Amino acid sequence: MYEHDVLVVGAGGAGLRAAIAAHEEGADVAMVTKLHPVRSHTGAAEGGINAALHPEDSWELHAYDTMKGSDYLGDAPAIDTFAQDAPEEVIQLEHWGMPFSREDDGKVSQRPFGGLSHPRTTYAGAETGHHLLHTMYEQVVKRGIEVYDEWYVLDLAVTDEDDPSERECHGVVAYDIQTGEIEGFKGRKGTILATGGPGQVFDHTTNAVANTGDGPAMAYRAGVPLEDMEMIQFHPTTLPSTGVLISEGVRGEGGILYNAEKERLMFEHGYANNDGELASRDVVSRAELTEINAGRGIEDEYVHLDMRHLGEERIIDRLENILHLAEDFEGVDGLDEPMPVKPGQHYAMGGIEVDENGESCISGLYAAGECACVSLHGANRLGGNALPELLVFGARAGTDAAGADIGAPEIETGYEAKSEDGDLDSPVELGAVGGTDVAADGGAVTGAASTVEAAVERARERVDSLMDGDGVNHAEVRADIQETMTENVNVFRNEDGLKQALRDIRGAREHYQDVSVHDPSRTYNTDLIQTIETRNIIDLAEAITAGALAREEFRGAHWRQEYQYRDDENWIKHTMLAWNDGDPELYYKPVILEGAEKTYEPKERSY
Amino acid sequence: MSTQTTDEDSEATGQSDSEAPASSPGERRRAEKRERQTEKARQAAETESDEETVLLKVFRYDPEVEGKREPRFDDFHVPFYKGMTVLDALIYARDTYDSSLTFRHSCRQAICGSDALFINGRQRLGCKTQLSDLDEPVRIEPLPHQDVVKDLVVDMEHFYDQMESVEPYFDPDELPSDDMAEQRQSRENREKIKMSTRCIWCGACMSSCNIAAGDNQYLGPAAINKAYRFAMDEREGDERKEKRMEIMEQEHGVWRCQTQFSCTEVCPKDIPLTEHIQELKREAVKSNLKFW
Ligand SMILES: Cc1cc2nc3c(=O)[nH]c(=O)nc-3n(C[C@H](O)[C@H](O)[C@H](O)COP(=O)(O)OP(=O)(O)OC[C@H]3O[C@@H](n4cnc5c(N)ncnc54)[C@H](O)[C@@H]3O)c2cc1C
Ligand code: SF4
Ligand code: FES
């Protein structure tokens, strides 16, 4: 068994920031990550990092914009903390050498971004995430922080009290991908999940192949509620064969969307008669899909984004990186032909329920970054707010886990925070096949070491049973989930479709009972890793769909055909889903609108 | 066979017509898509000469598995579509024919640096290489000059060690006294280091380098480029730069480079590696002259 004070699971932006913070408090920190840190998907972020740096800007304005963007589903204590801490985090990055784009006077540049009342987005060319990731990994190397890379975390080591809020997390069980060894990792002071987004739940996503939502799935099964899972952001312009993101910049410069009949769809079909292609992400995504569903898509799959009329000179000057993306990943020359695009899953606003200090209801278990839900983004994330989130809350989680006092949180977690029972009209049973799946069995397991050992034992048995037998390939199960999610739980949602998705997910879950790993090797067995990831994908797909069926309104990214309005009377509350040892329970908790300086009043989200 | 199992399962869970019309457009499309895929796979398996398929010859090796201990090449026929990359083809082959086919990959967009491979005799990223740009059959091998762990996966430890041996972190002589004040950096200076900061640690350059192949201790182009990135950053200060130059001038540092440009040719991020190495050589000469 390995032992450290603080364990950080995941080494993207959130994990790296948490590890550095814990190390600065004097803790012995280790990172356990299935990818080498620099391979994390934080590297793919292009746009930027929001922070109120200018003297004429203020954290209050940033907080206000974020609350408004969240469509009043964000919690004020999280939003205020975020906006207050973001500037020092950005300066900290600069002091660590991040190559920000600069003004003539040598200061860090800031540009305007959608939904922001002030130009407060700092950036480093079109590779902001890449530089953020590498800059922080460099600091991890400098500090000599231990990294177990290509170790896949299989499960959490959590005690088994009936009430999840009484449980404690003592560490994790991980699998060394290169050798096949399964080992316990004890986290004496805390364990921080920083596993990133769940994009692979959908078959078309801007997320990486490794973004399988392992953290939320593990925390959920251990007893931590998942919050606002239905809130998924889709991006309207992604390349059809890979999901690679084509930035808003193309439409900003005047790019036009056409359907198969060469109609300028945004106007000719009346989706946005004023803003046209520049309407918000969700409006454009729904327009494209309406066209495709009506048979006006190209190859029944996508629409065209055309920038040829801008002329070669302007394209090369302003949009050169887009030309490369279209050519490298789609085989299309954007100077010569229109680029195929379609909506793709992009970001998860929901996730593991935590407070402003990053801690969940299970003591010693923390989460930060995209896998967590503080809740900062509520029903809709503003572009450029995810990277500062992982800095601010990664740092807070690391500091708190190391034992430093950063004040008591205002946000409540766990069942104590429940305000209302939920009632889900699901056509099928949810949760574990057979009814129960208890996080930790054996009843009498107490003490840190034995909790970890028991978890290791369970993980070994699970791996052995997956390796044994001649069942179905997990890829089939995964494809079924991804298809139904993309079909039924994407930008368009209605009751029939959501129920169909729950049925399909149930079918996939039962099908999964028969999976096995065909590669017999213990050396670098990606078949095994992916088979385990697919289980996590099933749990998250179900949670997302359950939340989407429960929320009977249209708020932020969540659109319901039957409910075409935001219902502030009934729905300013968080959708919570607790695993409940295999028999999931839906409930609600209040949104906190009382901030440090003022109470936020819900206003119409129009720009 | 698998499709049937799914169908049975969903019937067992009580699917009723009123809630899910069997012929909803979505379902039809899905069914058609499945049909198309099966049809393609069938065609692919049957006709080697079908122009819609591509033949991959993939290196296989597993030290643990009977029959794979001796390295061999496996053939995979993969249905081709416009825009398909080498990585897409590998994923298809794995998910459709052989789930034990092993390769690293994650981002699919040339930013995580996981899938540098030796494709038709050249180091390239699988995700950034269009099949339509390659001659058939497409030969896919692990990066040369590295230990093979399994199939296309190589041991990257040595590469990481070299990267980390050049003190690859920003370490300024001094920081502004005000915690909230940023260091200034001129646009020109940022522009100067820009290309060097784009490295994604893919290892293609190191694998292509003859010198690195012959001298295991040679820092290699990526690590030298990393050092360049800091040495040229005006924010760090002269003292630090001098220390960085000492690392570069060591026996297995910049002077080993024989300007063959192979690294520059294969770098998927178009970093002018050889130029950076040459510039450091010139810097080294300059700073040595100071002491003479
Ligand atoms: C294309 C794209 C562009 C974006 N652009 C912007 C932008 O401009 N501005 C902005 O603010 N946001 C942007 N975002 C969002 C933002 O980049 C992400 O939300 C953020 O980077 C996520 O960081 P993370 O640290 O939470 O996760 P990641 O960076 O994804 O890291 C996850 C880590 O967890 C590890 N891990 C996962 N599962 C396991 C396991 N089971 N065991 C061990 N380790 C595990 C992985 O190895 C990895 O190291 C963008 C997102 C995408 C996809
Ligand atoms: S310098 Fe280029 S080829 Fe070498 S590791 Fe970096 S990105 Fe890869
Ligand atoms: S998959 Fe990330 S670089 Fe190719």
pLDDT digits (tens, 9 = 90+) for A53-64: 999 999 999 999
A44 Cβ below 6 A of ligand 1: yes
Check whether residue A325 and residue A358 sit in a common domain: no
Question: Closest approach of chain A CAs to the CA of B79, in angstroms?
Answer: 14
From B125, B153, B181, the end of a domain falls on: B153
B18 domain-assigned = no
CA separation for the pair B221, B41 (Å, rounded): 42
Q: Give the pLDDT of residue B43.
A: 55
Q: pLDDT of A566-579, one tens digit each?
A: 999 999 999 999 99
Whether residue B273 has its Cβ less than 6 Å from ligand 2: yes
Percent of chain A topping pLDDT 90: 88
Closest ligand 2 atom to Cα of B159: 5
Could you tell me if B244 and B279 lie in one domain? yes
A534 min Cα distance to partner chain B (Å): 13
**Do residue B127 and residue B165 come from a single domain?**
no
Residue A445 C-alpha from the chain's centroid? 33
Quote the CA–CA distance of A10 and A7 in Å, as a whole number. Answer: 10
Cβ atoms of residues A596 and A182 within 8 Å: no
Q: Is A491 helix (H, G, I), strand (E, B) or coil?
A: coil
Are B14 and A43 an interchain contact pair (Cβ–Cβ within 8 Å)?
Answer: no
* Domain-terminating residue out of A391, A413, A435: A413
Nearest-Cα residue of chain A relative to residue B8: A507
Q: Do B180 and A91 touch (CB under 8 A)?
A: yes
Work out the pLDDT band at A71, boundaries 50, 70, 90.
very high
Residues B147 and B216 in one domain: no
- Indicate the range of A246-255, A258-267, A476-485, B209-218 predicted with least confidence: A246-255
- The DSSP-derived string for A365-418 is EEE-GGGEESSSSTT-PPTT-HHHHHHHHHHHHHHHHTT------SS--SGGG-
Mutate to test the pocket of ligand 2, among B161, B164, B200, B226 (most ligand atoms within 8 A of CB): B200
Identify whether residues B166 and B283 lie together within a single domain: yes
- Does the residue B282 lie in any domain? yes
Does B29 score more than 60 pLDDT? no
Domain membership of residue A194 (yes or no) is yes
The first and second tokens of residue A58, run together, are: 């203020």
* pLDDT greater than 80 at residue A239: yes
Is B184 inside a domain boundary? no
Catalytic residue among A62, A167, A251, A558: A251
Name the strands in the sheet holding B138-141, side by side, starting at the edge strand that comes first in the sequence: B72-79, B53-60, B138-141, B116-119, B122-125
Q: Inspect the interface and report whether the beta carbons of A208 and B82 lie closer than 8 Å.
A: no
Interval B157-169 mean pLDDT: 97
Identify the pLDDT of residue A126. Answer: 87
pLDDT at A580: 94
Instruction: Clarify whether residues B165 and B133 are in a common domain.
Output: no
In 10 A of CB B34, how many CB atoms? 13
Classify residue A219: in a domain, yes or no.
yes
Please, which pLDDT band fits residue A439 given cuts at 50, 70 and 90?
Answer: low
- pLDDT of residue A405 exceeding 90, the answer is yes
CA distance A84 to A63: 8
Q: Which pLDDT value is given to residue A314?
A: 87
Contacts of B167 in chain A (CB under 8 A): 142
Identify whether B83 is part of a domain: yes
Same domain, residue pair A224 and A370: yes
Helix (H, G, I), strand (E, B) or coil at B77: strand
B125 lines ligand 3 (CB under 6 A): yes
Distance between CA atoms of B291 and B284, rounded to whole angstroms?
11
Residue B229 belongs to a domain:
yes
B positions 45-84 inside 8 Å of A (CB): 62-65, 81-84
Whether residue A31 contacts residue A195, with contact meaning beta carbons closer than 8 Å, is answered with no
pLDDT for residue B34: 53
The answer to the question of residue A426 being in a domain is: no
Give percent above pLDDT 70 in chain A: 98
pLDDT score of A19 more than 90: yes
Asked whether residue A180 falls in the same domain as residue A327, the answer is: no
Extract the tokens encoding A458. 């369970």
Residue A231 near ligand 1, beta carbon < 6 Å: no
For chain A, how many structural domains are there in total? 3
Out of B153, B181, B204, a domain closes at B153
Q: Are residues B127 and B210 in the same domain?
A: no
Q: What's the mean pLDDT in B37-63?
A: 73
pLDDT of residue A279: 84
Which atom of ligand 3 lies closest to the CA of A209?
1
Are residues B65 and B119 both part of a single domain? Answer: yes
Same domain, B202 and B79: no
CATH number for B234: 1.10.1060.10
The answer to whether residue A438 is domain-embedded is no
Q: What is the CATH number of the domain that holds A257?
A: 3.90.700.10
For ligand 1, whether the C-beta of A338 sits within 6 Å is: no
The answer to whether the CB of A34 is under 6 A from ligand 1 is yes
Q: Is residue A588 part of a domain?
A: no
Does residue B213 sit within a domain?
yes
Ligand 1 atom 20 nearest Cα: A42
Of B30, B62, B200, the CB nearest to A487: B30
Name the residue among A130, A123, A606 with its Cα closest to residue A380. A606
Determine the pLDDT at residue A436.
Answer: 66
Specify whether the CB–CB gap between B186 and B234 falls below 8 A. Answer: yes
Which of A232, A228, A235, A236 has its CA nearest to residue A257?
A236
Amino acid A604: pLDDT: 78
State the average pLDDT over residues B1-22.
Answer: 33
Q: Look at residue B291 in the predicted model and tell me its pLDDT.
A: 54
Protein residue closest via CA to atom 2 of ligand 2 = B267
State the pTM of this model.
0.93
- Based on the domain organization, do A206 and A314 belong to the same domain? no
Q: Are residues A311 and A363 in the same domain?
A: no
Cα→Cα distances A301→A55, A243, A341, A364, B33, Å: 47, 13, 9, 46, 11
CB contact (8 A) between residue A102 and residue B233: no
Binding site membership of B200 for ligand 2 (Cβ less than 6 Å) = yes
Split at pLDDT 50, 70, 90, the class of B82 is confident
- Residue A576, SS3? strand
Same domain, A535 and A565: yes
On the question of pLDDT at A184 being above 50, the answer is yes
Residues of B in contact with A208 (CB under 8 A): 106-108, 112
A140 lines ligand 1 (CB under 6 A): no
- Decide if A39 and B113 are in contact by the 8 Å CB cutoff: yes
Question: Torsion over CA of B222, B225, B226 and B232, rounded to 10 degrees?
Answer: 180
Residues 6+ apart with CB under 8 A from A299: none
Write the CB contacts of A167 (distance below 8 Å, at least 6 apart in sequence): A158, A159, A160, A161, A222, A223, A362, A363, A439
Residue bearing the CA closest to ligand 2, atom 8: B202
Residue B36 has pLDDT above 90, yes or no: no
A445: pLDDT strictly greater than 70 = no
Cβ atoms of A42 and A206 within 8 Å: the answer is no
- Number of independent structural domains in chain B: 2
* Nearest atom within ligand 2 for CA of residue B208: 3
pLDDT at residue B16, as a whole number: 35
Residues B149 and B161 in one domain: no
Q: Convert A68-100 to b/e letters by CB count within 10 Å (16 or more is b).
A: bbbbbbbbbbbbbbbbbbbbbbbbbbbbbbbbb
Q: Please name the amino acid found at residue A557.
A: A
Q: Are A405 and A477 in contact (CB under 8 A)?
A: no
pLDDT score for A319 = 85
Q: What is the CATH number of the domain that holds A488?
A: 1.20.58.100
Query: With a 6 A CB cut-off, is A364 part of the ligand 1 pocket?
Result: no
Cβ pair A41:B107 closer than 8 A: yes
Nearest ligand to the CA atom of A38: 1
Asked if residue A369 is part of any domain, the answer here is yes
Residue A582 lies in a domain: no
Based on the domain organization, do B54 and B148 belong to the same domain?
yes
Q: Output the CA A79–ligand 1 centroid distance in Å.
A: 20
B130 and B95 share one domain:
yes
The pLDDT score that the predictor gives to residue A435 is 67
Nearest-atom number in ligand 3 for the CA of B125 is 4
The answer for B 142-201 residues in CB contact with A (under 8 A) is 149-151, 153, 156, 160, 164, 167-172, 175, 179-187, 190, 193-194, 197-198, 200-201
pLDDT attached to residue A363: 96
Cα diameter, chain A? 72
Same domain assignment for residues A362 and A383: yes
- Which chain B positions have a beta carbon within 8 Å of A492's beta carbon? none
For residues B125 and B116, the answer to whether their CB atoms sit within 8 Å is yes
Minimal Cβ distance to A99: which of B149, B180, B190: B190
Indicate the burial class of A284 (C-beta count within 10 angstroms; 0-12, 13-18, 19 or more).
Answer: buried
Chain B CB contacts of A330 under 8 Å are 82-83
B100 CB neighbours in chain A (<8 A) are 518-521, 525, 527
Optimal mutation site among A94, A110, A484, interface B, most CBs of chain B within 10 A: A94
Point out the ligand nearest to the CA of residue B125: 3
In this structure, the answer to whether residues A228 and A238 fall within a common structural domain is no
- Whether omega before A198 lies within 30 degrees of 0, making that bond cis, reads no
Range of the domain at B244: 157-170+190-288
Regarding predicted confidence, which is higher, B291 or A422? A422
Ligand approaching nearest to the C-alpha of A11? 1
- For residues A95 and A192, state if they share a domain: yes
| Separation CA A494–CA B94 (nearest Å) | 35
Could you give the C-alpha distances from A358 to A167, A353, A411, A536, A560, in angstroms and in order?
Answer: 17, 9, 10, 22, 31
CATH code of the domain in which B64 resides: 3.10.20.30
Dihedral (Cα; A458, A463, A466, A467), 10-degree rounding:
-140
Residue B253 in domain: yes
Q: Say if ligand 3 is within 6 A of residue B105 CB.
A: yes
C-alpha span between A269 and A262 (Å, rounded): 12
What angle is formed at CA A294 by the lines to CA A289 and CA A297, rounded to 5 degrees?
A: 60
Residues A327, A202, single domain; the answer is no
Q: How many CB atoms lie within 10 A of CB B150?
A: 25
- The predicted structure's pLDDT at residue B22: 41
**Coil, strand, or helix at residue B17?**
coil
Does ligand 3 lie within 6 Å of residue B113's CB atom?
yes
- Could you tell me how many residues make up chain A? 607
Classify residue A29: in a domain, yes or no: yes
Other Cβ atoms closer than 10 A to A118? 18
pLDDT at A566: 96
Cβ contacts below 8 Å, chain A against chain B, sum to 216
pLDDT at position A281: 84
To probe the interface with A, which of B112, B151, B195 has the most A CB atoms within 10 Å?
B112
Label residue B12 by pLDDT band (50, 70, 90): very low
DSSP state of A70: T
CB atoms under 10 Å from CB of B11, counted, come to: 10
Residue at which a domain ends, from B128, B153, B178: B153
For residues A115 and A228, state if they share a domain: yes
Q: Cα(B222) to centroid of ligand 2, in Å?
A: 6
In this structure, are A131 and A261 located in the same domain? no
Mean per-residue pLDDT of chain B: 86
Band of residue B286 on the pLDDT scale cut at 50, 70, 90:
confident
The answer to whether A303 and A258 have CB atoms below 8 angstroms apart is yes
Cα dihedral value A373, A379, A385, A390, nearest 10:
10
How high does pLDDT run on average in chain A? Answer: 94
Is residue A130 flagged as an active site residue? no
The verdict on whether A4 is a catalytic residue reads no
Residues 213-242 of B with CB under 8 A from A: 230, 233, 235-236
Whether the bond between B208 and the residue before it is cis, its omega within 30 degrees of 0, is: no
Catalytic residue (one of A4, A41, A235, A478)? A235
On whether residue B108 sits in a domain, the answer given is: yes
| Tokens read off for A518 | 């065909």
**Residue A423: pLDDT over 90:** yes
The nearest alpha carbon in chain A to B197 belongs to A131
pLDDT, average across residues A218-226: 98
Residue position matching structure tokens 């900061």: B197
pLDDT in tens, B125-155: 999 999 999 999 999 999 999 999 999 999 9
Q: Using the beta-carbon criterion (under 8 Å), do A36 and B180 form an inter-chain contact?
A: no
Query: For residue B222, which ligand has an atom nearest its CA?
Result: 2
Of ligand 2's listed atoms, the one at least distance from the Cα of B273 is 1
End-of-domain residue from the set A342, A374, A390: A342
Q: Which two tokens stand for residue B41?
A: 């796979």
Q: Which domain holds residue A463?
A: 448-573
Tell me the CA distances in angstroms from A591 to A151, A375, A600, A602, one per residue in order: 37, 9, 11, 12
- pLDDT tens for residues A275-332? 889 888 888 999 999 999 999 999 999 999 999 999 999 898 878 889 999 999 998 9
Q: Retrieve residue A245's tokens.
A: 């993101």
CA distances from A30 to A17, A144, A605 (A): 12, 10, 42
Nearest chain B alpha carbon to A495: B19
Q: B9 pLDDT exceeds 60?
A: no
pLDDT category, B67, cuts 50, 70, 90? confident
